[in-house]
Amino acid sequence: MVLFSVIAGYIGWRRATKPIYRRTYVEPDPPEGMTRREYDRKIRARRKRWRLVITFFYAVMGAIGGIVFLLLLARR
């Protein structure tokens, strides 16, 4: 179960890390009174917080998958 959780958490971390520094082709203008650099830092900080949430959910789903796997093995 722990192995499934660690592997799923790693996959979640990798998938959530990719878009942190990626910029879109058509960039929205930053809000008034904020420079482009400040706006980009704010966006990156928000994406990093989401990375932790996504990793947590992947790890929980991996643990659930591990439990199901163990139950299927025990059933045989």
CB-based contact 59:5 (threshold 8 Å): yes
* Residue 29, pLDDT score: 82
- Please give the model's pTM, rounded to 2 decimal places: 0.78
* Residue 8, pLDDT score: 94
pLDDT exceeds cutoff 80 at 21 = no
Q: How many CB atoms lie within 10 A of CB 59?
A: 21
Q: How many helical (H) and strand (E) elements, i.e. helices and strands, does the chain have? A: 2, 0
Mean pLDDT of the chain: 89
